[in-house]
């Protein structure tokens, strides 16, 4: 059935505790850049997968993070054509696959609501690249 707010709080607490133990990530730091950098890593996904029963979800999450980590250098770079040409070439493929994963495997979370951050990333980076 549908998850209650109580369920969500419980899951959040479990995840926070697990990430604190495994990755030394403290929920208090959530709003700071270092938290995001540490959170968006292969190591964190490995840790989170220990809490996920469904193998299909684990695989999807690992692929999602892998794509994220391949796209990130492109949008972090001031000149991706020079600094990461291979990743730049693969970018539009990666971003399409990323969006596809969100809308299929993570449907419950992204039912037609792609977050502003991802929207910016997926929509505007190709424009930046074409300008380059």
- Among 65, 71, 102, which residue's Cα sits nearest to residue 89? 71
Asked if 104 and 67 sit in the same domain, the reply is: yes
Asked if 10 and 28 sit in the same domain, the reply is: yes
Q: pTM of the prediction?
A: 0.76
Asked if 76 and 131 sit in the same domain, the reply is: yes
Tokens of residue 103, six digits? 């809308």
Asked if 114 and 59 sit in the same domain, the reply is: yes
User: pLDDT, tens digit, for every residue of 2-57?
Assistant: 788 999 899 989 999 999 999 998 877 777 777 878 888 999 999 999 999 999 99
3 state SS for 24-79: CCCHHHHHCHHHHHHHCCHHHHHHHHCCCCCHHHHHHHHHHHHHHHHHHHHHHCCC
DSSP string covering 91-107, please? Answer: HHHHHHHHHHHHHHTTH
Q: Specify the pLDDT at position 127.
A: 58
Asked if 11 and 29 sit in the same domain, the reply is: yes
User: pLDDT, tens digit, for every residue of 47-105?
Assistant: 999 999 999 999 999 999 999 999 999 988 989 999 999 999 999 899 889 888 888 88
Asked if 123 and 68 sit in the same domain, the reply is: yes
Domain of 14, in residue numbers: 1-51
Q: Specify the pLDDT at position 1.
A: 67
Asked if 127 and 108 sit in the same domain, the reply is: yes
């Amino acid at each position: 059935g549908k998850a209650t707010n109580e369920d969500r709080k419980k899951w959040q607490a479990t995840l926070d505790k697990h990430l604190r133990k495994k990755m030394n990530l403290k929920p208090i730091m959530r709003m700071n850049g270092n938290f995001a950098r540490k959170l968006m890593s292969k190591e964190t996904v490995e840790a989170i997968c220990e809490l996920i029963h469904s193998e299909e979800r684990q695989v999807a999450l690992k692929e999602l993070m892998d794509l994220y980590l391949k796209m990130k250098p492109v949008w972090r770079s001031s000149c991706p054509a020079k600094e990461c040409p291979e990743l730049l070439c693969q970018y539009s493929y990666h971003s399409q696959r990323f969006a596809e994963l969100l809308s299929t495997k993570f449907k419950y979370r992204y039912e037609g609501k792609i977050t502003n951050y991802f929207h910016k990333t997926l929509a505007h980076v190709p424009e930046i690249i074409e300008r380059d």
